[in-house]
Chain A
């Protein structure tokens, strides 16, 4: 496979010709904030945190879904991008009930970490305080919709790594919700294999191992990428 060279934040980097901007950046050790991206499964460009500026393109492009081009000049940080990223995070915090102090993922949460990195010391928008429930019907895992950011990582790992197709999205707009099978309690799902990949994939405390208490729920989503690389690229060691 041929390689292409491009500039990311002024640094010249090379990447495989089919790589996305995000892959090229990760390869070069340049950090672009992401939430819906998960190594190993396809990208959807939904969280809009990885938006970058590309010279000659008027619109902002999502780094996770945009392929690189020879000589492309990418800027991953700017005053505008930081402003938009912080607003995006604030919108997320105002949308559902993210209360870190009582969350199983406190201290291991990607949303929390991003908010901290972006200096989000307060939220300017009115909180919605929606009344979402918790699905605790599964014997091993729980799903707290209040902490869900609808990144659909769980849906994608369920369909494309485990192949079970249990998780899905129902409804639209702010009423969108993660469902199991035909919108039934998780514990009654006939397709769920209880593999736990969705729990590993979740960036927040929405999906958790039962029995974990505040701050105990840590996870390593990179194991999912190992599985995919082993299966598809026959790479057994990383």
Chain B
């Protein structure tokens, strides 16, 4: 494989396109509402109408407005159809010839689409994720070529440093610094790991990237491998993502077949292979040390850091571990230059961030916005506010490790520092909108139940502390708690956060702490007086039927 071969593939792919392209979303969201049937219907309708020479049907990745799926886009007309059913296919296909169709049309000019800026999702909804040719046509693997043929590993690391890219997994550690550390650690064997163990409730960013554009992650990993001196990559993806796994397997196979993975890539001495490792459903395996233990075939439990993976990771070798979205940013940074990337976003948070909008919001789906966009723009303009005109009460970011940001703070920009200041975290990008009907103590109890279930059981504060915190929250929700119980809960929040071994335990109290900070009255209202004989409190909601232990 040399650059001419790459050009030839792109050329051939371009020439094969028909005048009209009907894009049908084939990501998990739309597939769950039968987009496979829609695609088959469209293909049949094209054939039946005798339009095969003019119209092609392409299965693509996520088209973002998941709540209106299945989505179908028609190019070059730029029309978007929503809620398409297989029986709509003949009229939809006929409309490409100028006739009218009754199929529900979406508005591609809506703020939901207009305010987005795509880097990571640029190919999502455009290319066919199951064909490498489609990715190559969209300038795929050109960054890898540039890196291998024109740049020294140090230049690549410098470019990532200069771009200002920070880890998209949640903590926001500067990616370039991490790359430089691994690159500078001398070792005969190093590894690159892609963390695709996305497990926050309501988060589906990484899944969509893997389903829609798997090659962008592979290319990012290969570039990372060259930059830090690794020849082996692992993608740790959870078993709950069968479609992402299937598309990754196809992508790895195709890349290997045409020589973009394996030995002597682009006729350079660089050798790089990627293997998949499937997680067994433990949330804690998203924590990097637990993830690596799991890859090694051990029980997925975290270990104390230092040593950090960059120094001693997989099988004690220096290991670069990055999140899916971080790696998907790499090829665009190389292609367009670090300065281009650094010009997007805010002073300390560069580039864009993908968010999964969920909860009480009109437009549920995937968005990619520049860092610094305000929560209000995201939730009200793009998301269309809460359905039925209900008032938004809070936005939860960062999953079980994050916090609830109250409506009065909606004008805060979305960047790492602002969210931390509000007691939440950027997290991997789940954004759950809550309206006035949401009761905060119940939200806190839900997330605590999640952490209690997902605690690995290794360290005592997390294993036993989450159980006690959940019990206290349950007591509060049931209106059986006293002010003393609330004090006990706050004490435990502090202790578990300070003494737990890994991020799961250290951040488990966050949903409680952040809701207490902004919605303390909701907790206090549920308390019963300390002294026996006070007025009987009205019965609260049912007891959490969660089983703690045998």
List residues of A whose CB falls within 8 A of some B CB. Answer: 44-48, 51, 59-60, 62, 65-67, 83-84, 87-88, 91-92, 94-95, 124-126, 128, 130-132, 149-150, 152, 168-169, 171-176
Residue contact A175 to B549, C-beta cutoff 8 Å: yes
Contacts of B500 in A (CB 8 A): 48
Contacts of A176 in B (CB 8 A): 456-457, 463
Give the number of A-B contacts (CB < 8 Å).
105
Residue contact B468 to A125, C-beta cutoff 8 Å: yes
Q: Looking at the assembled complex, report how far the CB atom of A29 sits from the nearest CB atom of chain B, in whole angstroms.
A: 25
- Complex alpha-carbon distance, A23 and B245, angstroms: 46
Residue contact B456 to A87, C-beta cutoff 8 Å: no
Q: Given A173-B466, A174-B452, A175-B550, is A46 in contact with B471 using a C-beta cutoff of 8 Å?
A: no
Contacts of A152 in B (CB 8 A): 458
6 closest A-B pairs (Cβ-Cβ)?
A176-B457, A91-B464, A173-B455, A130-B549, A45-B304, A65-B304
List residues of B whose CB falls within 8 A of some A CB. Answer: 282, 284, 299, 303-304, 306, 452-461, 463-468, 471, 488, 491-492, 495, 498-501, 548-550
Residue contact A92 to B464, C-beta cutoff 8 Å: yes
Contacts of A91 in B (CB 8 A): 460-461, 464-465, 468
CB closest chain-A residue, reference B506: A59
Q: Tell me which of A62, A87, A128, A172 contacts B491 (CB under 8 A).
A: A87
Q: Looking at the assembled complex, report how far the CB atom of A137 sits from the nearest CB atom of chain B, in whole angstroms.
A: 18
Residue contact A174 to B548, C-beta cutoff 8 Å: yes
Contacts of B498 in A (CB 8 A): 59-60, 84
- In terms of DSSP, what is the predominant structure of the interface of chain A? loop
Residue contact A173 to B452, C-beta cutoff 8 Å: yes
Q: Tell me which of A87, A95, A130, A132 contacts B495 (CB under 8 A).
A: A87
Q: Looking at the assembled complex, report how far the CB atom of A237 sits from the nearest CB atom of chain B, in whole angstroms.
A: 33
CB closest chain-A residue, reference B467: A174
Contacts of B460 in A (CB 8 A): 46-48, 88, 91-92, 149
- Complex alpha-carbon distance, A92 and B457, angstroms: 12
Q: Tell me which of A48, A131, A173 contacts B453 (CB under 8 A).
A: A173
Task: List 20 contacting pairs A-B, 8 Å CB cutoff, sorted by A.
Answer: A45-B303, A46-B501, A47-B459, A60-B498, A65-B304, A66-B304, A87-B495, A91-B460, A91-B464, A92-B460, A94-B468, A95-B463, A128-B549, A132-B549, A172-B455, A173-B456, A174-B464, A174-B548, A176-B457, A176-B463
- Complex alpha-carbon distance, A152 and B299, angstroms: 13
- Complex alpha-carbon distance, A95 and B459, angstroms: 13
Contacts of A84 in B (CB 8 A): 495, 498-499
CB closest chain-A residue, reference B500: A48
Q: Tell me which of B306, B457, B499 contacts A171 (CB under 8 A).
A: B457
- Complex alpha-carbon distance, A126 and B475, angstroms: 11
A45-B459, A88-B460, A172-B456 known; 5 new pairs, CB 8 Å cut-off, are: A87-B495, A128-B549, A149-B460, A174-B467, A175-B549
Contacts of B299 in A (CB 8 A): 168-169
Residue contact B461 to A95, C-beta cutoff 8 Å: no
Residue contact B488 to A62, C-beta cutoff 8 Å: no
Contacts of B499 in A (CB 8 A): 48, 51, 60, 84, 88
- In terms of DSSP, what is the predominant structure of the interface of chain B? helix
Q: Tell me which of B454, B464, B495, B550 contacts A172 (CB under 8 A).
A: B454
CB closest chain-A residue, reference B499: A48
CB closest chain-A residue, reference B299: A169
CB closest chain-B residue, reference A173: B455
- Complex alpha-carbon distance, A66 and B306, angstroms: 8
Q: Looking at the assembled complex, report how far the CB atom of B123 sits from the nearest CB atom of chain A, in whole angstroms.
A: 37
Residue contact B457 to A175, C-beta cutoff 8 Å: yes
Q: Looking at the assembled complex, report how far the CB atom of A172 sits from the nearest CB atom of chain B, in whole angstroms.
A: 5
Q: Tell me which of A44, A128, A171 contacts B548 (CB under 8 A).
A: A128
Residue contact B304 to A62, C-beta cutoff 8 Å: yes
Contacts of A173 in B (CB 8 A): 452-457, 463, 466-467
Q: Given A172-B454, A174-B457, is A130 in contact with B550 using a C-beta cutoff of 8 Å?
A: yes
Q: Tell me which of A46, A60, A66 contacts B458 (CB under 8 A).
A: A46
Residue contact B501 to A87, C-beta cutoff 8 Å: no
CB closest chain-B residue, reference A47: B460
Q: Looking at the assembled complex, report how far the CB atom of B176 sits from the nearest CB atom of chain A, in whole angstroms.
A: 23
Contacts of A66 in B (CB 8 A): 304, 306
Q: Tell me which of A126, A130, A175 contacts B468 (CB under 8 A).
A: A126
Contacts of A132 in B (CB 8 A): 549-550
Contacts of A149 in B (CB 8 A): 460
Residue contact B303 to A44, C-beta cutoff 8 Å: yes
- Complex alpha-carbon distance, A137 and B484, angstroms: 45
Q: Tell me which of B457, B495, B549 contacts A169 (CB under 8 A).
A: B457
Residue contact A150 to B488, C-beta cutoff 8 Å: no
Residue contact B550 to A150, C-beta cutoff 8 Å: no
- Complex alpha-carbon distance, A169 and B467, angstroms: 19
Q: Looking at the assembled complex, report how far the CB atom of A22 sits from the nearest CB atom of chain B, in whole angstroms.
A: 12
Q: Given A60-B499, A88-B499, is A150 in contact with B471 using a C-beta cutoff of 8 Å?
A: no
- Complex alpha-carbon distance, A87 and B303, angstroms: 22
Contacts of A67 in B (CB 8 A): 306
Contacts of A59 in B (CB 8 A): 498
Residue contact B458 to A44, C-beta cutoff 8 Å: yes
Residue contact B454 to A174, C-beta cutoff 8 Å: no
Q: Looking at the assembled complex, report how far the CB atom of B216 sits from the nearest CB atom of chain A, in whole angstroms.
A: 33
Residue contact A174 to B463, C-beta cutoff 8 Å: yes
Contacts of B550 in A (CB 8 A): 130-132, 175
Q: Given A84-B495, A87-B492, is A174 in contact with B549 using a C-beta cutoff of 8 Å?
A: yes
